[in-house]
Amino acid sequence: MLRSRLLAALVLTPLLAGCFASKGGGSEEGGDGRSGSRLRVALAFPPAERLSPYGADATILSRLGVAEGLTAMDANGAAAPALAESWRREDARTWVFTLREARFQDGTDVTASAVADALTHATEAEPEPAALSGVDLTAEADGSRAVTVRTAEPDPVLPLRLSSPSLAVFSGKAYDADGRVDPVGTATGPFELTEVDGTSSAALDRFDDYWGGRAQASGIDARFIADGTARANALRTGEVDIAEAVPVAQAATLDRETRRDTATTRTTSLLLNSASGPFADPELRAAARAAVDTSALAEGVYEGYADPGAGVYGPAVTWAEGKRVEPVGRAEAGRAKGTSITLATYDNRPELPEAAQVLKQQLEKAGFRVKLRIREYSRLEPDALDGKFDAFVLARNTLVDTGDPVAVLASDYTCDGGYNIAQLCDKDIDRAVAEAERTADPGERQDAAMAAEAAVLGSDAVVPLVHQRIITGVGTSVRGVLLDPHERTLVGTGTRR
């Protein structure tokens, strides 16, 4: 079996200007009266955008318990209270959110005007957060405890949309005139970011005034370790207490009691650049799709920790399979005839380089000539979004942005989508996605999402490869880790060792 053993060098250039002195590092009395030791956590993805909440770094802030929004997403994928204790819909385009008593980590109160300003900053961000793709939103304070949010078009899932990590709320001092957001000491979560060492590490202290109760751990020492083998080794040797995204190749090296696998809504796909280069030709996209053997990837590369790709949504989206329809509008497969392509992926998820190697073999068997590009994610993302690769292997959580199944279609596969690596722009797809966005009834919205998925798959700009399970390494003394199928949370108030 092919095993790629690529070691990723961590980028050492600081992405946040300056260093911030940690406010503590020893044990303190926990919220339950017990000693609250600091947690040591190994994360797979170093900050790519200076820990801005408006891009991929948003989930770093949510998984470490730093930031939160008006709402959260519960285990069933529905909106739940967070900074907003309740909400109501006044008309098709207007919602009113009532705030709970809460404080920012800089000591100021969470007020309606502060929340409205934070949401306004998100709407003005460039590029726009994926959760706001196709949404024209305004927010204004209604007294000190209520926020009125209006959308240009009816948005029946707005409370769920506002649970997105990219729409987290920060105090006014977080925002500068250039649109940057500094999350250090300005969020509302149970842990306060106090020190950031570029892309290598971060320190967090417990925020004792957290509205949801005092965390049991006194703080978190986070390390960004892009190499998956190194993350697993750090857990095995006791250097860290929690290691996210353990490679399947390393799973067997961990003791059973330290290994957790969780079904997730993450789909790994082959994205083909439909705007320029060889894959602007739909017949060559069809040829690439026909060349891919997804079962070989699920059984070989992922060693049973994945299912063969069925669509944009996988088995963890439990309603999808019964509603899935056949792709529409597919072209006939052409002949590659030695066509040269560049295939890129990243090594933060160690299975991806190996999957790319297998795809290279499959595509070359079909007549393509394939050149691989493998780097750490933060060094690839700008080029991927600019369409500088012919093909890209991406592991994408289809519900992470909003929890709404339609959101990933709007952000990833429409003309105005903010995360459109496939460079897809098709009027029929845009119409299908727009129809799904307008549908309010939950069951009918799911049906419309599957119709839009059929249009996306029919373009052959996206080839679903596998739906994977995520392996998390958890030390035997650790309790309360949040194993979230949506991958938004990891450490919370009850996480301790």
Look at the domain 68-172 and name its fold.
Dipeptide-binding Protein; domain 1 (3.90.76)
Give the containing element (helix H, strand E) for 100: none
Provide the residue count of the chain. 497
Burial of 122 (0-12, 13-18, 19+ CB in 10 A): buried
CATH 3.40.190.10 residue ranges of the chain are 8-66+189-255+476-497
User: Could you give phi then psi for residue 258, rounded to 5 degrees?
Assistant: -105, 5
Nearest-5° angle of CA 496, CA 228, CA 232?
45
- For residue 70, the tally of other CB atoms under 10 A from its CB is 30
Going by pLDDT thresholds of 50, 70 and 90, the confidence category of residue 47 is very high
Instruction: Say which CATH superfamily domain 264-469 falls into.
Output: Dipeptide-binding Protein; Domain 3 (3.10.105.10)
Going by pLDDT thresholds of 50, 70 and 90, the confidence category of residue 51 is very high
- Average pLDDT (180-189) is 97
Contact 333, 368 (CB under 8 A): no
Report the percentage of the chain scoring pLDDT > 70: 93
- Average pLDDT (448-460) is 97
- For residue 170, the tally of other CB atoms under 10 A from its CB is 27
- Average pLDDT (285-311) is 94
Rounded to the nearest angstrom, the gap between the alpha carbon of residue 487 and the centroid of all alpha carbons in its chain is 7
Mean predicted lDDT score pLDDT of the chain: 90
Q: Kindly give the pairing relationship between strand 201-206 and strand 219-224.
A: antiparallel
Q: Residue 402: its pLDDT value, please?
A: 82
- Average pLDDT (241-248) is 95
Q: Residue 341: its pLDDT value, please?
A: 98
Contact 290, 331 (CB under 8 A): no
Show the DSSP H helices in 100-198 as ranges: 112-124, 158-161
Contact 384, 342 (CB under 8 A): no
Euclidean distance between CA atoms 240 and 221, whole angstroms: 9
Going by pLDDT thresholds of 50, 70 and 90, the confidence category of residue 304 is confident
Q: Residue 97: its pLDDT value, please?
A: 98
Give the containing element (helix H, strand E) for 156: none
CATH 3.10.105.10 residue ranges of the chain are 264-469
Tokens (6 digits) for 34: 């017990």
Q: Residue 1: its pLDDT value, please?
A: 38
- Average pLDDT (162-176) is 96
Q: Residue 379: its pLDDT value, please?
A: 92
Between residues 398 and 455, the one the model is more confident about: 455
Contact 394, 271 (CB under 8 A): yes
Euclidean distance between CA atoms 344 and 351, whole angstroms: 13
- Average pLDDT (49-57) is 90
Q: What is the pLDDT of residues 321-379, one digit of tens each?
A: 899 999 999 999 999 999 999 999 999 888 999 999 999 999 999 999 999 999 999 89
Reduced DSSP (H G I as helix, E B as strand, rest coil) percent helix, strand, coil of the chain, to 5 = 25, 25, 50
pLDDT of residue 23 exceeding 90? no
* R_g of the chain computed on alpha carbons: 22
Euclidean distance between CA atoms 373 and 356, whole angstroms: 9
Tokens (6 digits) for 273: 């650049």
Give the containing element (helix H, strand E) for 448: helix 442-458
Between residues 318 and 394, the one the model is more confident about: 394
pLDDT of residue 6 exceeding 90? no
Between residues 18 and 344, the one the model is more confident about: 344
Handedness of CA 442, 467, 50, 64 (dihedral sign): positive
Residue closest to 245 by CA, chosen among 475, 489, 469, 3 = 469
Contact 160, 143 (CB under 8 A): no
Going by pLDDT thresholds of 50, 70 and 90, the confidence category of residue 64 is very high
Q: Residue 127: its pLDDT value, please?
A: 82
**365: amino acid identity, one letter:** K
Q: Residue 13: its pLDDT value, please?
A: 33
Q: Which residues of 34-69 are buried (b: 16+ CB within 10 A; e: fewer)?
A: eebbbbbbbbbbbbbbbbbbbbbbbbbbbbbbbbbb
Between residues 372 and 1, the one the model is more confident about: 372
**312: amino acid identity, one letter:** V
- Average pLDDT (187-197) is 97
First to last CA, the chain: 38
Going by pLDDT thresholds of 50, 70 and 90, the confidence category of residue 12 is very low
- For residue 451, the tally of other CB atoms under 10 A from its CB is 16
Q: Residue 75: its pLDDT value, please?
A: 80
Look at the domain 8-66+189-255+476-497 and name its fold.
D-Maltodextrin-Binding Protein; domain 2 (3.40.190)
Q: What is the pLDDT of residues 219-236, one digit of tens each?
A: 999 999 999 999 999 999
Going by pLDDT thresholds of 50, 70 and 90, the confidence category of residue 142 is very high
Q: Residue 8: its pLDDT value, please?
A: 34
CATH 3.90.76.10 residue ranges of the chain are 68-172
